[in-house]
Structure 1
């Protein structure tokens, strides 16, 4: 998640709107107070901070990451263009992207072996 997408003003405004004394004073147990505060805080955070659903794939190799996946998608788009139009410019772009993906894979595998 990009930090720039957080609505800090709205978040601060909503936190300041809550009368914490009124919300927490009637509770006698510190654990209850903490739980109540946490629930309120997380509810406001949910409203003001966008979330992004990510998919965790169990079949991925340990060296395979989202950056490689993204570059593979770009490579595959170039490949479709090459197969469709057979232009020299597209072929060069595809080969450059293919080499980039292969080098990224090699580097990640190498890094994983070192660790």
Structure 2
């Protein structure tokens, strides 16, 4: 009985830990301080032509810094869609690559 209960607690801990890590993985990412380029994005002085479809998330972070907000739109296991917000600009990623954006 005790072994079964301990095993149950361990499994519940693993499930809860996995869920929390998945929901909050942005907390585990290293912050990227881009300073002036973040200000340029917020004030609309960065040329949108610098964005290219197919850019990786780290390339976008290198260009604009960390997003103001990040939201997972869909995560089916096979496909993951995210929305990143920079000021009034929204960037959309599919499986970690920039697919589109809007101002």
TM-score (norm 1): 0.21
Higher RCO, 1 vs 2 (CA within 8 Å, ≥6 residues apart): 1
Choose between structure 1 and 2: higher helix proportion: 1
Q: Which has the higher Rg, Structure 1 or Structure 2?
A: 1
TM-score (norm 2): 0.23
